[in-house]
A and B are shown apart, each in its own frame.
Chain A
Amino acid sequence: MTLGVWLVFALAIFCLGLYCVLGRRNLIVILIGIELMLNAVSVNFMAVNYYLAPDPSVGQIVVLFIIGLAAAEAAIALSIILSVYRQRKSISIANLEELKG
């Protein structure tokens, strides 16, 4: 087991999350994709920490921060989703095109 394998593993999770963010319309599913991408990043940190870092606790602490921020992000995102649903009776991204030029 080398660092490279861990990184490619993380990349695979990241790409699955990316596909989810780009390809789906349901806001909750998109949120799931984002969580997957965040986890991929966490795995990266842990793996690099494990194999390379002189101070081993750094990676774990960063991952803890990521988990914390992910919790905050999820809370905000879910509240936004609920708010959008209440306004439009839909959580499909197809209806959210106010940025159109």
Chain B
Amino acid sequence: MILTGIAMVITIAGAILAVSRRNVVHAVFGLAIALVGVALAFLALNSPFVAAMQVLIYIGGITIAMIFAVMLSATRERESRDGVWRRLFAGIAALLFFVALAPVLMSTDFGTAMQASESAWSLNEIGNSLLDQYNVVFELLSVVLLLAIIGAIAIARHEPGSLDDPTATDGGDA
């Protein structure tokens, strides 16, 4: 219960930080905090393995990649003045969305809760399901990841004849 509350507070705080800061690096840190909060929420929802994956992949992988991107693009751009109207519009749209859906979610009766057995949340169960019932999806996902890697390299690699170091492509192949 306490864990749940902490997780929610950390997540919302991190998200607000991520959304509101002008500095992109700060925003990425905010995102990392929010992701930690989500991992805590997964823990609170009785799924330590997914929480661990969340920390590993999101915080360890994606967030670091973003930091790299920020560094590589070296942007110091500021949001211009007319961004105020844009953000106002975005805020109204998001708020409207929240106001529209929140009462529906709160008032909906989802039926009787089911008390799952402890064993169902075990690592064993997940491993078996992945390689048995959801094997096709699992393999598809690995293909998607492979394609994503190749695609990312293809898009991000240096144009031929550019002054940058050609070893980047070699590293991609490795």
Which of A's residues lie within 8 Å of B, judged by CB? 1, 3-4, 6-9, 11-26, 28-29, 31-33, 35-36, 39, 42-43, 46-58, 60-61, 63-65, 67-76, 78-83, 85-86, 90-92, 94
User: B58 to A67, Cβ gap below 8 A?
Assistant: yes
User: B105 to A12, Cβ gap below 8 A?
Assistant: no
- State the majority secondary structure of interface residues on B: helix
Given known A28-B73, A35-B31, A52-B113, contact A22–B106 (CB-CB < 8 A): no
Given B49, B62, B130, which contacts A70 in the complex, CB threshold below 8 Å? B62
Given A3, A16, A76, which contacts B155 in the complex, CB threshold below 8 Å? A76
Interchain CA distance A64-B1 in the complex, whole Å: 24
Tally of chain B residues near chain A (CB < 8 A): 84
User: B34 to A36, Cβ gap below 8 A?
Assistant: yes
What is the CB-to-nearest-CB distance from B170 to chain A, in angstroms, rounded to a whole number? Answer: 17
Interface centre among B1, B15, B80, B134 (most CB of A within 10 A): B15
Cβ of B45 within 8 Å of any chain A Cβ, yes or no, is yes
What is the CB-to-nearest-CB distance from B40 to chain A, in angstroms, rounded to a whole number? Answer: 11
User: A29 to B105, Cβ gap below 8 A?
Assistant: no
Cβ of B173 within 8 Å of any chain A Cβ, yes or no, is no
Q: List 11 A-B contacts (CB under 8 A).
A: A3-B113, A21-B90, A25-B80, A28-B66, A28-B69, A35-B35, A42-B42, A51-B113, A56-B116, A79-B153, A79-B156
